[in-house]
Chains A and B, each alone.
Chain A
C-alpha cells in the first residue's frame, strides 16, 4: 500500500517535466526524422512521402558538402581553445592579488549574448574596422581587409570569435580540475628544482587529464554544432556555411522544412555518436 501511494505521488510530481519533455524534447526527435523523409508544406501543414529525395539531394549538393567541410574545419578551434584555456586557468589559479579580476575579465565574453558580442566583432572585422587599423599601425598589412568578406579567411575569423567567446567557459572547468591537485605535489617539484615548464607538462597535464578529456569532448561537440556565430557574423556569406547553419537557413530562409530536417538528422547522427563516446568515458563518474 505504501509503495503504491508513493507511485501516484511520484508520477504527479514528475508529470509537468514529463509532459513538457515529451512534447518539446522527445516528440521532436521522431517528428524530425519523419519530416526528413517527407515534403512538408508550411501553408497547409501537410507532409508527403518523397522516397529519400532530400537525402539524394543532400548527397549531391555542393553547398551541403561545403557546410560539412566547414564544420569539420571548425574542429581546429578545439586544440587551440583547450591549450589556451588550460594555460590561462593555470595562470589564474593561485593566491596572488587580482586573480578574481582576471577570472572575471576572461569570463565576460561567456556571459554576453552572442548577438550583442557579435555586433562589436562585426565592427572589429569591417574592412576599415579596428583590426585593420591595428595591423596597419603595426605595419603588418597595407591594404584594408574585409575580414568577414574574403572566402579564404572568413571562416577562420568566425573561429577566432568562437575562441574569444568560449575560452572563459573552459577556463572555469580547468580551474575546478586544477584545484583538486594537492599543493604539496607542486611544492615538492619546486624543491626538486623543476622549472615552470617541466612542472606544467610533468604534473599539471597528467593530473588534470580527466578534465582535458571532458573539455575536449565538450568542445568537439560544440564545434560540430557551431552555427550561431555564423548567423550573427556572416549569414553564411563568403563560404562560411556550417552544417547546422545549413539546417537553419534551409528551414527559415528557404522554408524547406523537410530538407532542413534531413540535414539535421545527419548532424544528429554525428553528435549522438560523439555523445556516446563521452558517456563511455564519463558515465560512471557523474
Chain B
C-alpha cells in the first residue's frame, strides 16, 4: 500500500467524521430553518423531506413579527446586555487595577475572597438574591417612590452578576503584563491614579477588555433562568425568556411559527459569532480561565 494512498484514506476518514459531527451539531438549526421557510407545513415531520423547504416563503417570519412582540424582546435583550457589559467592564477594570498594580493592606485577602467565589455554585444565590431584591425594591419605593432597583426591573436582572471573579481576574492578569516603566513615566509626569488607569492601562489592555465584553455579551444575551425569575411582566422579557414562553405556550400549536421564531432568535447570535469567532474558537486565548 503506497504512502499517498494511506494518506488519502486517512483524510477521507477524517472529513467523513467531521461532516458526520457537523450534521449532529447543526441538524436542529437546519431543520428549523427548512421548516421556517416552508409556506406549506405538510412535510415538516417527514425524515429526509423535512430538511428541504417546500414552497419557500417568508410568511411565517411575518407571522412571528406581527403576533409575537419579537422586536420588544430584541430591544429588551439589547438594553440588558448593554448595561451588563458596561458595568462588568467598568467594575472589573477598576477592581483589577489595584489588585494588579498597587500595594495596600488587605490585598491578598481580598483577592482570595474574590477567587473563592468561583467555588460556590451561583445557582444557590438565586433565592437570597430574590429576597434581597424584593427588599431593595420596597426600600426605593418607600424613599423615592420609584423602583430603581428591584424585582421586575432591568437593574434587578443585571446588577447581581456584574461583579464577578472571572472579569476581575481577567483584567488583573491583563494589567500585570503592562511594563512598570509605562506607569512610572506617567507618575513622573504627574498623572493621578485615575488618569493612569484611563489613559495608560485601559488603551494598552484593549484586547482583553474586548474579550471580556464579548464573553459578557454572549452570557447576558443567553441568560434565561434569573431573568425569568426577576422579570414578571411580559413587556420586559428578553428574547431568551419571552420567545421561550411564547413558543412553548400560546404559539406552540404552529410548528412552522415556532421554527420561524427560533431562526429569528438565533440569527443575531450567529451574525455576532461570525464576526467575533476568533475570540471563541482559536483555542489559544485565555479560554482556560
Chain A: residues with CB nearer than 8 A to chain B?
Answer: 3, 6-7, 9-11, 13-14, 16-18, 20-21, 23-29, 31-32, 35, 45, 88, 91-93, 96, 98, 100, 102-124, 128-130, 133-134, 136-137, 164, 167-168, 172-173, 175-176, 178-179, 196, 211, 214, 221, 225, 227-228, 231-232, 244, 247-248, 251-252, 257, 260-261, 264-265, 267-268, 271-272, 275-276, 279, 286
Asked if B159 and A130 sit within 8 Å, CB to CB, the answer is no
Asked if B224 and A130 sit within 8 Å, CB to CB, the answer is no
Q: Which residues of B contact A96 (CB under 8 A)?
A: 11, 14
Q: Which residues of B contact A88 (CB under 8 A)?
A: 21
10 smallest beta-carbon distances between A and B, as pairs: A175-B283, A28-B128, A275-B119, A10-B98, A20-B163, A28-B125, A17-B95, A115-B244, A113-B222, A24-B160
Inter-chain CB contacts under 8 Å: number: 267
Q: A32-B128, A173-B288, A257-B131 are in contact. Are A120 and B120 (CB under 8 A)?
A: no
Q: Is the interface of A mostly helix, strand, loop or mixed?
A: helix
With A114-B222, A120-B262, A267-B124 given, name 17 new contacts (CB 8 A): A13-B193, A16-B95, A17-B168, A27-B128, A98-B18, A106-B25, A107-B273, A109-B25, A111-B273, A115-B224, A115-B244, A119-B247, A128-B45, A214-B288, A225-B123, A268-B121, A271-B120
Contact mask for chain B residues 209-229; partner A; CB cutoff 8 A; 1 contact, 0 none? 000000000100111110001
B35 closest partner in A (C-beta): A123
Residue among A10, A17, A271, A286 with most chain B CB within 10 A: A17
**CB proximity of A158 to chain B, nearest CB, Å:** 15
Complex Cα spacing A91 to B11, Å: 10
Q: For the side of the interface on B, what is the size category? A: 35 or more
Complex Cα spacing A96 to B17, Å: 14
Q: Which residues of A contact B119 (CB under 8 A)?
A: 271-272, 275-276, 279
Asked if B239 and A113 sit within 8 Å, CB to CB, the answer is yes
Taking CB atoms and an 8 Å cut-off, the chain B residues in 58-113 that contact chain A are: 90-92, 94-95, 97-99, 102-105, 107, 110, 113
A265 closest partner in B (C-beta): B124
Complex Cα spacing A103 to B26, Å: 12
Chain B: residues with CB nearer than 8 A to chain A?
Answer: 10-11, 14-15, 17-18, 21-22, 24-26, 28-29, 31-32, 45-48, 50, 90-92, 94-95, 97-99, 102-105, 107, 110, 113-114, 117-132, 134-135, 159-164, 168, 193, 197, 218, 221-225, 229, 239-241, 243-244, 247-248, 255, 258-259, 261-262, 265-266, 269-270, 273-274, 277, 280-281, 283-285, 287-289
Complex Cα spacing A24 to B113, Å: 14
Asked if A105 and B26 sit within 8 Å, CB to CB, the answer is yes
Complex Cα spacing A116 to B11, Å: 35
Asked if A13 and B224 sit within 8 Å, CB to CB, the answer is no
Q: A11-B104, A104-B281, A117-B28 are in contact. Are A130 and B132 (CB under 8 A)?
A: no
Q: Could you jot down 13 A-B contacts, CB within 8 Å?
A: A98-B18, A104-B274, A106-B22, A108-B29, A113-B221, A123-B255, A123-B258, A130-B47, A137-B47, A173-B288, A176-B283, A214-B288, A247-B127
